[in-house]
Chain A
Amino acid sequence: MTTTTARPAVREEPPGAAPAGAGRRTGRLRRIGLPYLLLLPALVLELLVHLVPMAIGIVMSFKQLTQFHIRDWGAAPWSGLDNYKVSVDFDAPVGEALLHSFFVTVAFTLLSVGLCWLIGTAAAVFMQDAFRGRGLLRTLFLVPYALPVYTAVITWVFMFQRDNGLINHVLHDQLHLTDEPSFWLIGDNSFWALLIVSVWKGWPFAFLIVMAGLQNIPGELYEAAALDGAGMWQQIRRITLPSLRPVNQVLVLVLFLWTFNDFNTPYVMFGKAAPEAADLISVHIYQSSFVTWNFGTGSAMSVLLLLFLLVVTGVHLAVTSRGRRTADA
């Protein structure tokens, strides 16, 4: 290894500007080639599983792709923007259902992300100081996150059963809050059932991230605040929460994207046909493609969903990075 005595390129240097002493051509070639070689497996796989299929999906959205053409989808006739027109024609049944599903998903996502963030942050802040049993509690709180989605959801489905579930047993038999045992997995209640399951499963992730974020807050800040006479609540409000802002910005975005795209929870909970009140967009699109065999329209809907998420992410990044810049100034 002749070239290795040269310092590896440092981040700030412009690409290609080789540090002095790395003159030999082979070494230079190797140094320039090495990062690409290291990235190659990741790149190939991302292309194969994410990017190429996505491009195909976009192409499909412009085709009239029904079960007649699925064997040879390339031969399906082009349909221009027809699939998009059908998807966003909100007066017709298909568009109307999509719009409804979209609003359900937005409401569900906002509530779920808000609650997950709130519970996770509160738990992490309350558990910042040591107390007896803290380690045990922390382990316990991570259980919902560690459980495979489907076992967690199946357990909740059992609890939500009308005749032999725990929820109705408590609400109806023990507390007598309802005259009749309610249905939780069909009708309007299904929205709340889905929300509860989603929060139960999702909040520990927020807890984990906030807990990690708390450890990066320097202890001196608290010492200084305590010397200034700030009480516990004030320390939380003035130091803990503002220090968590960068962590929260990423956390909320990630939670938003995951929840908005969540397929596993509603699919295990309701099967292929979700009740209207809990018709999340992923399951809706899945159903539009695989149950009605209209893959062109399903792809168009997916592309619209992706565009929406891109816009939301872009706005979020623009707003948060501007906030960061003004904070730095």
Chain B
Amino acid sequence: MPDPTALAARRGPAARRGSPMAPPRSFLWARRVFLTLLTGFVLVPVYVMVSSSLKPLADVSGSFRWLPSGLTIRPYIDIWSTVPLAKYFVNSLIVAGAATVCSVVIAVFAAYAVSRHTFRGRRVFTVTVLSTQMFPGILFLLPLFLLYVNIGNATGIALFGSRGGLILTYLTFSLPFSIWMLIGYFDSVPRDLDEAALVDGCGPLGALFRIVVPAAVPGIVAVAVYAFMTAWGEVLFASVMTNDTTRTLAVGLQGYSTLNDVYWNQIMAASLVVSVPVVAGFLLLQRYLVAGLTAGAVK
């Protein structure tokens, strides 16, 4: 079940509908029309982003043109000097990377506890964790800000304005969904496997790391992708909780468009540069995500 290649095989051409007859024409036409329109809808902004990033300034300041009057890579050079993009980039990488690693590790422990152990308060825990999904971010933005400032004043640990504070915040954003998804995923790993490991003398943690985690790699990868994307794309807390040295891309790019609205080609180039790491990573790992969701969240 958890093996993505097995899933891929199951999705093979003959796998799904037992029907020997070909789909009717109405279905084929509906599918063709719908998927064509949808592809257009999805692709147009992507095309605008890519093509505009290669246009000279005159092309993006005047009336929109589908085709550039000439191609230039100038915007890709200028973006690094117009705003300190490299600095924002590094900040985002550190924050999102650290938040992802911590979030995944913590979620693995918590999900293992819920999936494999009975204890008082188990249900309260899962319900509470899930219900945090419904909190409006705006409700705890200011209290969290005050809390970080107060902790900083009391202990000297600078949370407000630092990368550490942002990492802490982001990793809890992805935690509820990650735990929830991993519980489902761990439940689908046969219990006999880790019981056998326990019999063989592994401790509970040995069983977790030698048996459950390797069997749940797709789910864990899916959770990591989700956590990284959450941290990379968040705007609200990043705009309040960072300063000039810790600013992340989410805020940095905003500065771009308000600095001078005219340089649309640079804004598009910067957007593309910022998107490439996440989009590439996501698309490479998407089969894990589907497999992880199938076994975990959707069951």
Query: Known contacts being A4-B202, A35-B113, A166-B48, is A285 close to B138, with CB within 8 Å?
Result: yes
- Shortest beta-carbon distance, A146 to chain B, in Å? 4
Docked Cα-Cα span, A127 to B30, in Å, equals 12
Docked Cα-Cα span, A213 to B184, in Å, equals 14
Q: Mark B107-137, 1 if CB is under 8 A from A, else 0.
A: 1011011101111101001001101111111
A97 sits at the interface (CB 8 A): no
- A138 nearest CB neighbor, chain B only: B286
> CB distance A53 to B140 under 8 Å?
yes
Q: Which chain B residues border A88 with CB–CB below 8 Å?
A: none
> CB distance A212 to B44 under 8 Å?
no
Say whether chain A's binding surface is mostly helix, strand, loop, or mixed. helix
Stretch touching chain B among A79-87, A152-160, A187-195: A152-160
Query: Known contacts being A56-B146, A306-B134, is A46 close to B172, with CB within 8 Å?
Result: yes
Interface residues on B, range: 35 or more
> CB distance A264 to B35 under 8 Å?
no
Say whether chain B's binding surface is mostly helix, strand, loop, or mixed. helix
Q: Which chain A residues border B141 with CB–CB below 8 Å?
A: 286
> CB distance A263 to B63 under 8 Å?
no
- Shortest beta-carbon distance, B95 to chain A, in Å? 13
- Shortest beta-carbon distance, B53 to chain A, in Å? 10
A73 sits at the interface (CB 8 A): yes
Number of interface residues of A (CB under 8 A): 119
> CB distance A42 to B275 under 8 Å?
no
A141 sits at the interface (CB 8 A): yes
A329 sits at the interface (CB 8 A): no
Docked Cα-Cα span, A127 to B272, in Å, equals 28
Query: Known contacts being A45-B172, A46-B129, A155-B268, is A57 close to B34, with CB within 8 Å?
Result: no
- A211 nearest CB neighbor, chain B only: B290
User: Which of the residues A8, A32, A139, A282 comes within 8 Å of B136, measured between beta carbons?
Assistant: A282
Q: Which chain B residues border A5 with CB–CB below 8 Å?
A: 198-199
Docked Cα-Cα span, A212 to B172, in Å, equals 25
Residues 280-304 (chain A) with a chain B CB within 8 angstroms:
281-282, 285-286, 289, 295, 298-299, 302-303
> CB distance A34 to B275 under 8 Å?
no
> CB distance B199 to A137 under 8 Å?
no
Q: Which chain B residues border A137 with CB–CB below 8 Å?
A: 35, 39
Docked Cα-Cα span, A102 to B279, in Å, equals 34
B154 sits at the interface (CB 8 A): no
- A70 nearest CB neighbor, chain B only: B146
Residues 38-65 (chain A) with a chain B CB within 8 angstroms:
38-39, 41-43, 45-46, 48-54, 56-57, 60
Residues 74-89 (chain B) with a chain A CB within 8 angstroms:
none
- Top 7 nearest A-B pairs (CB, nearest first) are A223-B18, A226-B19, A302-B139, A53-B140, A53-B143, A56-B143, A169-B64
